[in-house]
Amino acid sequence: MAQSQSWWSGAAKREREPAPSFESKPLEDAAIADSEEEKVLTRRVHILGLGSIGTLVAHSLRCLPNPPPITLMMHKHQQYEEFKKVGRSVTLIDKKNAINDAQSGYDVDLFEETPNEGYTWHFKPAFQDKRNFREKTNPIEEAERLKSGELYIYSLIVAVKGHATVSALRSIKHRVDASTTICFMQNGLGQIEELNREVFTDPETRPTYMLGIVSHGSYMTSPCSVVHAGYGTVALGICRDQDRHPLPGKYPARNLSELPEDERQRFYPTDKDLFANLSSRYLLRTLTRSPVLACAAFPYLDLFQLQLEKLAANVVLNPLTALLDVPNGALLLSDEISMVQRLLLAEVSLVIRNLPELEAIPNVEMRFSAERLEQLARSVTRRTAQNSSSMREDLRHGKKPEVDYINGYIVKRGEEQGIKCVLNFMMMQLIKGKDTLRAREHAVPYGTKKITSAVDLGQPDQVTLSDDSTPNPSRARAQ
């Protein structure tokens, strides 16, 4: 008699197939540009945003043999004064390898107000001493000087907080054009869409955007000193501008080989097409020369998927550690917190798997399944268990958190598809609420340390409560 299979026992077991590999392969030089020598307009690299990542990049590029001229862009005069106090140098500390290295020779662009011009950029060059005179460390090339007296920006690295991106780049809009490349090394997603909508509205004059996904661990110890806490990599690639290269229809009318070349380049650009801007190739080659940064170029769709994987980990890691005020590793110690992460990632998985940019990509369902995203998030948490997340540090130091570009990005892309991401929306509101309470002088008490009571013998029906909570002690009288 044949043995029947219970309905709850599941399907018959089959031999397990090998799991697909989602490892992205870096681009070869030949896939980006022809090998002949190319003449760039200027070798100068501008860096906007001198937090831990911007400072790490500034130091790493200055360590290169024959380094490019580097201009540090500063919006505050106090920041420039602190830079001068340390001898116009940037210091990198690597405790593991006993490195404490200061690099100098940086030029500065300072955004300051003048009586006649209002706010404008003023160039503060670095000087080096010769035998009988001082000369500029990085002489200005003729093609760099604009009519306004400011310098043209050919290659720019942006490492400001997400919410500051639009205002920061609006201040340099007149100094860039379609020949410029801007490399964004930031947390989250959605900043580029805001820039296209509010700053660089004309696709014909819009700079080329390069993306940099950073996995290095670093933090600032002083305004000009960065600790390199953990070695990682930087994945680079060109962001597809959907005004110049719109996504093709779901069901193309003709085969790719039948398309005219201009139509093929518009709807199906190759990596060489995306790297057509000479400044993009120059900035890529400059960044990949640094052994510390460990940069590599990837095709755009591979890079976008790497971005989404990093975003998925940040969706749970950043807001939960910020709300609970704990280091990353604490999230591994609670089953209740693991359940919250699982629910958040279920929403993230649903949104990512339905993105139109990924329609033609194989294995998207498996790569961005909720189970795999949970494995990735736990792996990142274990690897950074001793670290404090950037969002937690922002709240602890009174800075605006970047939740709009992390959980907020998932909420926005979900709404585009008719998916209501209520849990990610709630997490975004909780972070904003906590930030608001910390900012208010007379906020509702939280984090109470001690409450004491006292009875007035003359009025035995009244009790005075003394609240020693943060941010400010408050007193109340209870009847």
Which phi and psi angles does 472 have, rounded to 5°?
A: -130, 140
Closest CA to 360 of 451, 446, 256, 439: 256
How far apart, in whole angstroms, are the C-alpha atoms of residue 240 and residue 305?
A: 13
> Which whole-number Å values give the CA distances from 454 to 460, 469, 478, 479, in the listed order?
10, 17, 11, 12
How far apart, in whole angstroms, are the C-alpha atoms of residue 125 and residue 110?
A: 11
pLDDT computed for residue 260 by the predictor: 87
- Inter-residue long-range contacts of 138-147, CB under 8 Å, 24+ positions, other chains counted: 138/44, 138/69, 138/70, 138/105, 138/107, 141/41, 141/42, 141/44, 143/41, 143/42, 144/41, 144/42, 144/44, 146/175
Tell me the residue type at 205: T
How far apart, in whole angstroms, are the C-alpha atoms of residue 198 and residue 181?
A: 18
Question: SS3 letters for 247-267?
Answer: CCCCCCCCCHHHCCHHHHHHH
Tell me the residue type at 272: K
pLDDT computed for residue 350 by the predictor: 97
CB 376 within 8 A of CB 312: yes
pLDDT computed for residue 475 by the predictor: 40
CA torsion, ordered 178, 240, 24, 26, to nearest 10 deg? -20
- How many Cα atoms are found within 13 Å in the side-chain-facing hemisphere of 104? 13
Q: Digits of tens for pLDDT over the chain (479 positions)? A: 455 444 344 444 555 556 667 777 788 776 776 545 678 899 999 999 999 999 999 999 999 999 999 999 999 999 999 999 999 999 999 978 888 999 999 999 999 877 777 789 999 999 876 655 677 889 998 889 999 889 999 999 999 999 999 999 999 999 999 999 999 999 999 999 999 999 999 999 999 999 999 999 899 999 999 999 889 999 999 999 999 999 887 666 567 777 888 888 888 899 899 999 999 999 999 999 999 999 999 999 999 999 999 999 999 999 999 999 999 999 999 999 999 999 999 999 999 999 999 988 889 999 999 999 999 999 999 999 988 999 999 999 899 999 999 999 999 999 999 999 999 999 999 999 999 998 775 454 555 444 455 555 566 555 555 555 544 444 443 43
pLDDT computed for residue 249 by the predictor: 72
Task: Give the global pTM.
Answer: 0.85
pLDDT computed for residue 456 by the predictor: 57
How far apart, in whole angstroms, are the C-alpha atoms of residue 49 and residue 55?
A: 8
How far apart, in whole angstroms, are the C-alpha atoms of residue 309 and residue 116?
A: 49
pLDDT computed for residue 419 by the predictor: 96
How far apart, in whole angstroms, are the C-alpha atoms of residue 88 and residue 422?
A: 48
DSSP 292-303: TTTEEE--HHHH
DSSP 66-127: SPPPEEEEES-HHHHHHHHHTTS-EEEEETTTTEEEEE---EEEEEEEETTTEEEEEEE--E
Strand order in the sheet with 474-478: 451-456, 459-467, 474-478
CB 321 within 8 A of CB 331: yes
